Chains A and B, each alone.
Chain A
Amino acid sequence: MIMVKISPKNIAEAVYLATEGKSGAHLEEVLKRSVKILADRRMLGKGDEMLQALQKIIDKKEGIVRLKITTAGNMSASERKKLEEEIKEQYKAEKVISEYFEKEELLGGMRVEVEDELLDTTYRNRLENLEKFLIQAR
């Protein structure tokens, strides 16, 4: 018998398919069984990874884009809205979920993270690039 290693991602996909379109007692039953499988296979420790994978699957199916923005100062509500609209258009998303952070050390500009893509226009990053450029020019 070939033992295939099951990854948290595989389980997340299975859970998603099993719960799709279900609600109430049905949904509860499916979730209970999913947790039982995790316990039987001694994979409860991988619960977090599985939940993250499930979140990614749901986001993808529902067209949700998660955004992380870090700036030196506070952004106004209108600026935030404009940025979210642009991201929504660029990633052709149904919905944008944003998280905003403030870090004074960035000096200015902003750092936008979408999944594994990063756009860094902060002054700190520009200064670091200038430093590298000047060292290379030597």
Chain B
Amino acid sequence: MSNHIVENLRKEIEAFKIEEKTEKVGAVLEVFDGIAKVSGLSDVKSSEMVTFAGGQLGVALNLEEDTVGVIILGDFSRIKEGDVVKSTGRILEVGVGETLIGRVVNASGAPIDGKGAIKTSKAYPIERVASGVVTRQSVSEPVATGIKVIDSIIPVGRGQRELIIGDRQTGKTAIAIDAILNQRGQNMICVYVSIGQKDSKLRKIEARLEAGGAMAYTVIVSAGASEPAPMSYIAPYTGVSIAEYFMDQGKDVLIIYDDLSKHAVAYREISLLLRRPPGREAYPGDVFYLHSRLLERACRKNKEYGGGSITAFPIIETQAGDISAYIPTNVISITDGQIFLETDLFYKGIRPAVNVGSSVSRVGGNAQIKAMKKVAGPLKLEMAQYRELEAFAQFGSDLDDATKKALERGKRSVELLKQLQYSPVKVENQIVALYALVKGFMDDIEVAKIKDFEAGLVAYAERNAKTFYKEIVTEKMWTDKGEAELVKVIGDYKMSFEK
């Protein structure tokens, strides 16, 4: 055994070739808060990796006349004034490959889950220009999030960028995690990028994904709250580079940036330390480009270019519901729609606390399956009417029958769209429940009993409306035969429910 080890080591050492060449070096002038000012390094490129004497990695960001401003990726407390800094000639890159699946890595791609080293097959630069126009295709296939209100009213397609926005504690991460959990068996790789979050929250999320079997297709990239700002700054780019690897293999990827507000804050910190001029809310002038170049990398490629896709769910945390602040308006304008969560709705018990009126999906409608479109159309209209009438009905006591009917239907719609966390619903089941709602089968069911009715109906229909389910799965739309079967099944179930 020991002979074998010695033999292997000998072979490895023999394979080692010494390359003596001159290197460009510099010296640390000052170090502070994850930033180093370095003299020398005359030929260094912007975003080039540099290495410090202690092995820490850095990235050259500010190229000035006599000095270079470097962000330090890792522990900067051991870097001293006068330490040698070497340029590498390489733009910052991250190891990518199938081996990353199921693992938790930090912003530079190193494992932090205690499951050993990760051997990756390739390295991708973390900053890449987004795919060009000719390689792209419009969004046409849905991402099933398993959340009724999203899949029906604010549908998301593969390759779309849909913003999740709301105050703290409104369930933004919950939506993202539910979406990941629902990707089981949907041929989707998920990348969850945690930026500036508490380690306890990340641990909880990882445990939840593990329990739901979602780590089998998920990679977690984390830059924790205790890590220096440069790590938070590069984390989303690392995440999207990993996602691009899978997209290049022709796979569909769902990436979640949780959250970009903290990312912008980390970048503001770096920019101010690098003495870049501050602008609105002290953010630097290129904070729009910071997020636009990141989110532009989400796309759907056409068949000739592999047909993969990256769907992005960036998350933004607002302060007191103010979506007109700098970063929220920037990201709203970059993305293809937003899911707007409200504290008021959350405390009213409407969970997920999605404000259907302010939420929108600009391209997802094209990706919705035909059957879902058929039931979601009337639902959207009824919800819009309900919102208007709800405010109006608070003043008037005498309401006509049509108004009363619309109000009652609206209450039932809101009730039906409520959903518990970690309980994604299959698209077919969503269609059955929404069909029963929009066709008026639930109008005479008490609002308080809607959830029970839905649960029972879905279970009953799954057993008894086999033709309908088969048609939805294979044809994405029902036929007259399937519809007749479903109507009968709903009728039968309703009779037994009322008894």
Chain B residues within 8 Å of A74, by CB? none
Inter-chain CA distance A121–B18, complex, in Å, is 10
B236 at the interface (CB under 8 A from A): no
User: Do the beta carbons of B13 and A130 come within 8 Å of each other?
Assistant: yes
Whether B65 pairs with A120 at a CB distance below 8 angstroms is no
Known: A7-B65, A9-B66, A138-B117. A117 touches B25 (CB 8 A): yes
Nearest neighbor of B66 in chain A, beta-carbon distance: A9
Are B20 and A134 neighbours in the complex by a CB distance under 8 Å? no
Map CB proximity to A onto B291-318 as digits: 1 under 8 Å, 0 otherwise: 0000000000000000000000000000
Q: Is A20 an interface residue (CB 8 A)?
A: no
**Residue B40 interfacial (CB < 8 Å):** yes
Contact of A118 among B9, B25, B66 (CB under 8 A): B25
Contact B42 A116 (CB under 8 A): yes
How many whole Å from B199's CB to the nearest CB in chain A? 27
Chain B: minimal CB distance from A123 (Å): 11
Contact of A113 with B16 in the complex, beta carbons under 8 Å: no
Measured in the bound complex, the distance between the Cα atoms of B118 and A138 in whole Å is 10
Contact B22 A117 (CB under 8 A): yes
With A121-B20, A129-B18, A134-B12 as contacts: A116 and B26 at CB distance below 8 Å: yes
Residue contact B65 to A117, C-beta cutoff 8 Å: no
Q: How large is the interface on B (under 10, 10 to 19, 20 to 34, 35 or more residues)?
A: 20 to 34
Least distance between B111 CB and chain A CB atoms (Å): 13
Given A7-B65, A138-B117, residue A118 in contact with residue B16 (CB < 8 A): no
Most chain B beta carbons < 10 A, residue from A113, A118, A126: A118
Chain A proximity of B19: nearest CB distance (Å): 9
In angstroms, Cα B5 to Cα A138, docked, is 13
Q: Which residues of A contact B65 (CB under 8 A)?
A: 7, 9
B18 touching A126, Cβ below 8 Å: yes
Report Cα–Cα, A104/B12, bound state, in Å: 28
Would you list which residues of chain A between 87 and 135 have a CB under 8 Å from chain B? 113, 115-121, 126, 129-130, 133-134
B residues in contact with A129, CB < 8 Å: 16, 18
- Minimum CB–CB distance from B116 to chain A (whole Å) comes to 10
Count residues of chain A with CB under 8 A from any CB of chain B: 17
Q: Is the CB of A118 within 8 A of B23?
A: yes
- Chain A at the B interface: SS class: mixed
The contact string, 1 if C-beta is below 8 Å from chain A, for chain B 32-56, is 0000000111100000000000000
Complexed CA–CA distance, A119 and B25 (Å): 10
Kindly state the separation between the CA atoms of A138 and B117 in the bound complex, as whole angstroms: 9
Contact A120 B23 (CB under 8 A): yes
Nearest-CB residue, chain A, relative to B87 = A116
CB distance from A22 to the nearest CB of B (A): 27
A137 CB within 8 Å of chain B: yes
B86 beta carbon closer than 8 Å to chain A: yes
- With A and B bound together, what is the CA distance between A118 and B51 in angstroms? 14
A113-B18 in contact (CB<8A): no
Judging by beta carbons under 8 Å apart, are B18 and A117 in contact? no
Selected from B15, B20, B41, the residue in CB contact (under 8 A) with A119 is: B20
B12 and A116 form a contact (CB under 8 A): no
Q: Are B24 and A116 neighbours in the complex by a CB distance under 8 Å?
A: yes
Contact in complex: B23, A117 (CB < 8 Å): yes
Which residue on chain A has the smallest CB distance to residue B19? A129
> What is the bound-complex CA distance between A113 and B84, given in angstroms?
11
Contact of B22 among A7, A119, A134, A137 (CB under 8 A): A119
Contact mask for chain B residues 97-141; partner A; CB cutoff 8 A; 1 contact, 0 none: 000000000000000000001010000000000000000000000
CB distance from A121 to the nearest CB of B (A): 5
Q: How many angstroms between the C-alpha atoms of A134 and B15 in the bound complex?
A: 10
Give the contacting residue for B12; candidates A9, A118, A137; CB below 8 A.
A137
With a CB–CB cut-off of 8 A, which chain B residues contact A9? 65-66
Question: Which partner residue on chain B sits nearest A49 by CB separation?
Answer: B66
A133 and B16 contacting across the interface, CB-CB below 8 Å: yes
* Residues of chain A within 8 A of B26, CB atoms compared: 116
Least CB separation from A136: chain B residue? B119
Question: What are 18 A-B pairs at a CB distance below 8 A?
Answer: A7-B65, A7-B66, A9-B66, A113-B25, A116-B25, A116-B26, A116-B42, A117-B24, A118-B86, A119-B20, A119-B23, A120-B23, A126-B18, A129-B16, A129-B18, A133-B16, A134-B12, A138-B117
Contacts A117-B24, A133-B16 known; 5 new A-B pairs at CB < 8 A: A118-B22, A118-B24, A119-B21, A134-B12, A134-B13
Q: Top 10 A-B pairs ranked by shortest CB distance?
A: A116-B40, A118-B25, A119-B22, A117-B22, A133-B16, A118-B23, A116-B42, A137-B12, A121-B20, A130-B16
